[in-house]
Amino acid sequence: MYQFDKLTDLIQNRAAERRAFSPDDLEDLIAWLETQPADREYQWPDVCGCLMHFYLLEACAVPSPSESAWHYDEPFGTLDAYHQVGATWPWTFGAALKRAKVLLDQPQK
């Protein structure tokens, strides 16, 4: 329980310092991507270098997992665009932003 409380405190402290982005909201991901340099690169296969790692850590104030990518299924469980935005090449923030905007404009199923 101690580790959970410590993690909760860390998340709350970081969240208070910046806008509260949600890991499962495509509009929040887009808003964050719009603040990033378009030519900034990420490495999708690297769990600590992928787009979602940076988004969780920098925008959502969620400490990212370091063991494997499967840990990202939980915070992004309701973001259907998770792989469509991040996994598709080219791996730049500008390209990811374009993909996210296209997905946002598509009718919901």
Overall domain count for the chain: 1
Closest listed residue to residue 28, CA positions, set 88, 82, 108? 82
DSSP class per residue in 16-76: HHS----TT-HHHHHHHHTTS-TT-B--TTSTTTSHHHHIIIIIS--PPPSS-GGGGGTTT
Query: Domain limits at 64?
Result: 2-105
Reported as a single tens digit per residue, the pLDDT across 72-86 is 555 555 566 778 899
pLDDT tens string 12-35: 555 555 566 777 788 999 999 999
Single pTM value for the model: 0.70
